[in-house]
Amino acid sequence: MQQTNKGVRFVKRPLEKPDVSVFAMQERALNPIGQGQYLMRNIYLSMDPALVGRMRDEDNYADKVNLGDTMHAYGIAQVIQSKNQAVKVGEIRLGRIDMQEYSILSDASASTVINLGLADANWYLSAVGITGATAYFALNEIGKPQVGETVLVSSGGSSVGSLAGQIAKQMGCITVAIVSTDEKAKQVKQDFAYDQAISYRGKSIDQLSADIQKACPQGVDVYFDNTSGDISEAVLDQLNQNARIAVVGRLGISHLANSHDDIGRRDHNILLTKRVKKQGFVILDYQDRMKGALIRLARWVKEGQITGLEDRMQGIDAVPDAFFKMLDGKSTGKQIVQLAEINDMIDPAPRWLGRLMIAKYFPTRWLARRLTGGI
Ligand SMILES: NC(=O)c1ccc[n+]([C@@H]2O[C@H](COP(=O)([O-])OP(=O)(O)OC[C@H]3O[C@@H](n4cnc5c(N)ncnc54)[C@H](OP(=O)(O)O)[C@@H]3O)[C@@H](O)[C@H]2O)c1
């Protein structure tokens, strides 16, 4: 019997905030793999807000998705057939596998082997993956927080935001989150140890600015910006002299079909008079330093110094609902969809190596430089 591959097709470019009409379910025959290719069974798909940027017909830092193609997504998969010498059957890999049950890739470097001794597979989609590395590098390289400074995080309950908040707290900073609702504000203070958390939904820019002032009585030294738009405009008057802004995301303007429609107060006067540094961040620029960061993040997870919440749904049919649940801010943690179980018995990655990597007596940079191949 011909095996099939069920997935989610991108069928409509949204003019505003995308809704379920941009997707259609599809079921296609799974073709035999050719020389140099490998077939993976997809295990977990990550529902990321950045995927909205790929739906737009304008330049982005990532490829846009073409109409009619399977919708892009990152995830974890296990190799079940390989005609590529650099890829072994059983390997568990992280990469762009798209919203489908099976993926066929040609290039070994299009996905990375992961080691379950370092962290469980699902953690590679949050703290021990692009999410954690984004929080880590954007905070350290652009935010450069100092002990006692106030770090404000928009979308502070998001996977990236909550990690940035926890890392800043560990560094001795005062941490403040901006989230959608009062209920979520209570939750993020409890779960991610923020000192303060405030809500933005239903508030004018001036109201939100006043709330930020109350929550940050010493002003804002580092603004970790996941939203851009009105929320970031509300932060402007609360910035301290020499504040740093890491522009990490555009959740607050992702409903606009064209980013030229994002208009508001210009920030030049504040940046100039307060000597504020504002810099865009793209994780792709940190590829060569990624391994060291992931090992450090895995160590923090194992030691309980950072944590993350996960909202897991099951099966390919749940993917559209999971995606919009995440975009509506209704997910209770990192939104993932599980499509299959990992077959531990055929994974060739030595678990001891992963455990060794996070053992405290090994300097992570030294190890990261010497270890080649997967993480
Ligand atoms: N630059 C990079 O290299 C890079 C890499 C990875 C991620 N990112 C960015 O990091 C940010 C967080 O990503 P994530 O994966 O951590 O997200 P996530 O865990 O999936 O969280 C999404 C959150 O976004 C908030 N949100 C949704 N729509 C919003 C809107 N219209 N306005 C404001 N907030 C909204 C919701 O929180 P509330 O309910 O509190 O609003 C929701 O919980 C995103 O902007 C993403 O693009 C950037």
Each residue of 135-169: pLDDT tens digit? Answer: 999 999 999 999 999 999 999 999 999 999 999 99
360: left (phi over 0), alpha (psi -120 to 50) or beta: alpha
The token pair at 2 is 């011909």
- CB-based contact 94:349 (threshold 8 Å): no
CA distances in angstroms from 15 to 19, 36, 210, 222, listed in the order given:
10, 39, 33, 33
Q: Domain range holding 220?
A: 130-284
Q: How far is the CA of 349 from the centre of ligand 1 (A)?
A: 32
CB 127 less than 6 A from any atom of ligand 1: no
CB 327 less than 6 A from any atom of ligand 1: yes
Q: Within this chain, do residues 271 and 156 fall inside the same structural domain, yes or no?
A: yes
Q: Within this chain, do residues 17 and 155 fall inside the same structural domain, yes or no?
A: no
Domain containing residue 181: CATH number: 3.40.50.720
Each residue of 103-130: pLDDT tens digit? Answer: 999 999 999 999 999 999 999 999 999 9
Domain containing residue 26: CATH number: 3.90.180.10
For 25-36, what is the mean pLDDT?
A: 96
CB 290 less than 6 A from any atom of ligand 1: no
Q: Within this chain, do residues 192 and 58 fall inside the same structural domain, yes or no?
A: no
Residue with tokens 């954690």: 132
The token pair at 272 is 């100039």
- Running DSSP on this structure, what letter comes out for residue 231? H
Q: How confident is the model at residue 355 (pLDDT cuts 50, 70, 90)?
A: confident
State the pLDDT at residue 368.
61
The token pair at 336 is 């993932």
Residue 358 falls within a domain, yes or no? no
- CB-based contact 7:69 (threshold 8 Å): no
Mutate to test the pocket of ligand 1, among 19, 160, 233 (most ligand atoms within 8 A of CB): 160
For 181-195, what is the mean pLDDT?
A: 97
Q: Within this chain, do residues 199 and 270 fall inside the same structural domain, yes or no?
A: yes
* Highest-scoring range by mean pLDDT, 25-39, 49-63, 256-270: 25-39
Q: Within this chain, do residues 12 and 43 fall inside the same structural domain, yes or no?
A: yes
pLDDT at 183 over 80: yes
Residue with tokens 């939750």: 187
State the pLDDT at residue 257.
74
Q: How far is the CA of 248 from the centre of ligand 1 (A)?
A: 9
Residue 291 falls within a domain, yes or no? no
CB 226 less than 6 A from any atom of ligand 1: yes
Q: Within this chain, do residues 271 and 196 fall inside the same structural domain, yes or no?
A: yes
Q: Within this chain, do residues 194 and 327 fall inside the same structural domain, yes or no?
A: no
Residue 300 falls within a domain, yes or no? no
CA atoms of 132 and 4, how far apart (whole Å): 34
Residue 16 falls within a domain, yes or no? yes
User: What's at 307, amino acid-wise?
Assistant: T
Percentage of the chain with pLDDT > 90? Answer: 79
Q: Are strands 23-29 and 4-10 parallel, antiparallel or unpaired?
A: antiparallel
Residue 61 falls within a domain, yes or no? yes
Q: Which of 218, 250, 284 is the last residue of a domain?
A: 284
Q: Within this chain, do residues 21 and 76 fall inside the same structural domain, yes or no?
A: yes
Q: Whose CA is nearest to atom 29 of ligand 1?
A: 251
Q: How far is the CA of 358 from the centre of ligand 1 (A)?
A: 28
What's the pTM? 0.89
CB 130 less than 6 A from any atom of ligand 1: yes
CB 326 less than 6 A from any atom of ligand 1: yes
Residue 107 falls within a domain, yes or no? yes
pLDDT at 374 over 70: no
pLDDT at 372 over 50: no
Count of other CB atoms within 10 angstroms of residue 5? 19
Each residue of 322-348: pLDDT tens digit? Answer: 999 999 889 988 999 999 999 988 988
Greater model confidence, 257 or 180: 180
Q: Within this chain, do residues 320 and 335 fall inside the same structural domain, yes or no?
A: yes
Q: Within this chain, do residues 162 and 112 fall inside the same structural domain, yes or no?
A: no
State the pLDDT at residue 360.
65
Q: How far is the CA of 209 from the centre of ligand 1 (A)?
A: 20
Residue 196 falls within a domain, yes or no? yes
Q: Atom of ligand 1 at shortest distance to CA of 331? A: 43
For 38-51, what is the mean pLDDT?
A: 96
CB 62 less than 6 A from any atom of ligand 1: no
CB 333 less than 6 A from any atom of ligand 1: no
Backbone angles phi, psi at 117, to 5 degrees: -75, -25
Side-chain-side CA neighbours of 68 within 13 Å: the count stands at 0
For 15-40, what is the mean pLDDT?
A: 95
Beta bridge partners of 225: 247
Q: Within this chain, do residues 152 and 273 fall inside the same structural domain, yes or no?
A: yes
Q: How confident is the model at residue 357 (pLDDT cuts 50, 70, 90)?
A: confident
Q: How far is the CA of 173 from the centre of ligand 1 (A)?
A: 22
Residue 367 falls within a domain, yes or no? no
pLDDT at 260 over 90: no
Q: How far is the CA of 238 from the centre of ligand 1 (A)?
A: 22
CA atoms of 356 and 360, how far apart (whole Å): 9
Q: How far is the CA of 308 from the centre of ligand 1 (A)?
A: 14
Q: How many distinct structural domains can be found in the chain?
A: 2
pLDDT at 60 over 90: no
Q: Within this chain, do residues 219 and 199 fall inside the same structural domain, yes or no?
A: yes
